[in-house]
Chains A and B, each alone.
Chain A
Amino acid sequence: LAKTTQPISMDSYEGQEVNITCSHNNIATNDYITWYQQFPSQGPRFIIQGYKTKVTNEVASLFIPADRKSSTLSLPRVSLSDTAVYYCLVGERNQGGKLIFGQGTELSVKP
């Protein structure tokens, strides 16, 4: 499974847009990019998944360049409740959900 690298921590303020970039230089042709969010004392929760270009849902957007060696999770107008750890994962879409979590990015949103 491709290894991912993302910043350990990020700070932001309420109302700002937050972009978290993840590097995955060894991504394979069949791999998808998936982001999970984890609040303290809770299990991770799926946010978004994509293969290339741009994916948007009600929570976030995912930008993937043509070479797919990196991806950026974009959270529009964050609030205090977006304070969490965000994980970038790379793997086959239909591998039964086997997930290998890296260190994640601890996002702290301040008032």
Chain B
Amino acid sequence: DAGVIQSPRHEVTEMGQEVTLRCKPISGHNSLFWYRQTMMRGLELLIYFNNNVPIDDSGMPEDRFSAKMPNASFSTLKIQPSEPRDSAVYFCASSLAAPGGRTEAFFGQGTRLTVV
């Protein structure tokens, strides 16, 4: 398996523009997570899905952020409109939550977003 695949790897956009980050989880995994990492705030969990259903979006900073998972093999994180303070590395991760089993999250390479 190629692992968790994120695109694009780098994104530079102007303030006010819409940004869409994409993620393809590992095949067979039933949980998907979006994280944001900055120097100031570290790694923050934004939202996570289980079986394509959003379970906890309490980490989503504000209404400008939205995430979808239309099927088991694809998820998007959208920021509209984007602001300079949204500049960060956004990670997608997936895992297989099996009863009684160890849950290990596999992370993608991340998308480095710069909003100017």
Q: Which residues of A contact B (CB under 8 A)?
A: 32, 41-46, 49, 87, 93-104
B24-55 CB mask vs A (1 if < 8 Å, else 0) is 00000011010100000011110010100001
Q: How far is the CA of A45 from the CA of B99 in the complex (A)?
A: 22
Q: With contacts A96-B48, A99-B105 known, what are 18 further pairs, Cβ within 8 A?
A: A41-B109, A43-B91, A44-B107, A45-B107, A49-B104, A93-B103, A94-B99, A95-B97, A95-B103, A96-B50, A96-B103, A97-B97, A98-B33, A98-B56, A100-B45, A101-B35, A101-B43, A104-B42
Q: Which residues of B contact A102 (CB under 8 A)?
A: 42
Contact B33 A43 (CB under 8 A): no
Task: Tally the A-B contacts, defined by beta carbons under 8 Å.
Answer: 69
Give the B interface residue count (CB, 8 A). Answer: 30
Q: Which residues of A contact B70 (CB under 8 A)?
A: none
Does chain A have a CB within 8 A of B76? no
Q: How far is the CA of A103 from the CA of B93 in the complex (A)?
A: 19
